[in-house]
Each structure stands twice: as C-alpha cells, then as structure tokens.
Structure 1
Amino acid sequence: MTVPTLSAAKYLCEASEWSLSNLKLQKLLYISHMMHLGRTGTPLIDGHFEAWDYGPVEPSLYHHVKAFGRNEIGPVFHTVAPVTDPVAKDVMERTFQSLRNMTPGQLVGVTHWDQGAWAQHYRPDTRGAVIPNEAILEEYARRLKSGS
C-alpha cells in the first residue's frame, strides 16, 4: 500500500526521536522506498524522487522541511496522518534501524552508487530530473545481485 510522503517522513522523524536533518531524512526515505518497491512491487510513497546534487530528493518533502536547513527537523507534521500500513511501517523501521548510525554524508555515498537510479538520471546543476520507480526497482535488483 502506498502512503502519503509526509506521513512516511513523519514516521521516520518519530522513529529517530526528531534527530534527522532534511538530507538524512531524504536518504532514509529513498532507501525505504526502494526496499518497499523491491519487496512488494509497489511504491512506498505517493510522491516521486528527483536526482539532485546530493542524491535523490522528494521535492514536496524538501520544501516542507527546508526551513530547518542542516539542523534537525522539529515536529512539523502536526496535521499529517500516521502510517497505518504494517508493511510500510516494517520496511521503514528496518531501514531506519539498519542505517541510523550512518552520517548524512555516508548515506549520500550509498545513494550515489554508480549503478543506481540516481546516477542514471542525475544531470549536474539540474533539478526536476525525475527518477522513475522502474529505475529504483532496477537498482534494488542490481543491489541484491551485487550484494551492495
């Protein structure tokens, strides 16, 4: 089941006890989305990712939390519905727990994988280059095959 982007972001922020920056949140959400696509064949979120300089970004989420800059995101999802889908929650929780200790820079490195969907769609100094879910699903399959 696909969930609203902001609901997924709220879930990850709550799981981190509100310790995520916009950059780290974006990377955790992208990896969660990829894992959900790979495991269920359906997108995690109802939004889309674009190939920005620092990796995949969901633009509506970026604009919702950009006022925090590099700082930790505060509780700005007051009217956002919680995630109720148990599969979505499980994928996000597993992703968060396995990557929680990585720095934002390390997560950027993960999402900049040269065989990944971001690398295929990134154009320097360009925003708006959508990363199709099909490419994200292919990245999932390549990562499984390569053990990355």
Structure 2
Amino acid sequence: MTISTPAAAKAVCEMRDWQVSNLALQKILYVAQMVHLGRFGAPLVPESFEAWDYGPVIPSLYRQVRMFGAQPIKDVFYDARPLPEGAEKATLNEVVPFLAPFTPGQLVNLTHWQNGAWAKVYRPSTRGIIIPNEAIADEFRARQQST
C-alpha cells in the first residue's frame, strides 16, 4: 500500500513542527521512499521522483509548496488524511527524526551520492528524468552494504 504524497508531506511537516523547506521536504521524502522500497519492495508514495539539479523532486509536490521558497512550509495539504498505522507511518517515524539534524545542504549532498539512483540518471539543467523505483531500491541495498 502507498500513502498519498500530500499525506506523507503533511506528516513530515508535522513531525518537524512545520520547520521544513520545500528542498528539505523533497529530500526527506526521497530517503523515506528509498528505505520503504528497500525494506518492503513497495513505494511509500505513488508518484515518481525526478532527478533535478538539487536532487530528487516530486514535481507535483514542488509546485504545491514552491511559493514558500526556502522558508518553512505552511499547511497547504488541506485534503491530506492522517496516516493510518502501518509500515508507511513507521517508515516516516524512523526516517524523519533520523534526518532532523541535517541541514538542507547536507540533505542535498546525501541524495547526490555518486553510487545513488539520482546520480545515475541526472543530467544537468534537465527536468523530467524519472528516477526508477528499482534504482532507488538498489541504492538502499548499496548503502546497506557500504555501512
């Protein structure tokens, strides 16, 4: 099962007391997607990430919150339902606190890992390049082996 992207985004923002920027939100959700794919073989959210200059991005989410720029996102997720108990909520409950100390720049560096899925498909100044979920799951496994 997946959860909606707005529901996942709202959950991340709530866990971070609404002190998360668009850039940081995108990277946190990407890491959560990676962990979830790696552990359960299924995506956390149904939408694909694209390889943008500053790392993985879900374009529809970007458009929804871009008005906040680098400032903390305010609640624009009016139709997002609370997360049900389950693996998806557990993934976010693990990933979000783990990444809390990371600055947006550190999150960008984390997602730009040279052996990672983003780096394998990224082309400078090009949008629309989907990062395949299989590659994201492979990144999870590669990171597990490198630790």
Match of 1:32 in 2: 32
**Match of 2:51, SS?**
strand
Q: Give aligned pairs, total.
A: 147
TM-score, structure 2 normalization? 0.98
Paired with 1:137 and 1:59, the residues of 2 have a C-alpha distance of 20
Superposition deviation, residue 113 in structure 1: 0.2
The yes-or-no answer on 1:13 pairing with 2:13 is yes
Superposition deviation, residue 85 in structure 1: 4.1
Moved more, 6-15 or 78-87: 78-87
Match of 1:127 in 2: 127
Paired with 1:85 and 1:46, the residues of 2 have a C-alpha distance of 18
Gapped regions of structure 1 (runs ≥ 5): none
TM-score, structure 1 normalization? 0.97
Residue by residue over 1:23-79, the C-alpha shift from the partner in whole angstroms, topping out at 9 and shown as x without a partner, is 000000000000000111100001010000000001110001000011000011122
Counterparts of 1:1-148 in structure 2, within 5 Å, are 1-147=1-147
Paired with 2:90 and 2:56, the residues of 1 have a C-alpha distance of 22
TM superposition outliers: structure 1 runs of 4+ over 6 Å: none
Paired with 2:117 and 2:98, the residues of 1 have a C-alpha distance of 21
Superposition deviation, residue 86 in structure 1: 1.8
Q: Percent of pairs identical after alignment?
A: 51
Residue by residue over 1:83-124, the C-alpha shift from the partner in whole angstroms, topping out at 9 and shown as x without a partner, is 214211111111011110100000000000000000001000
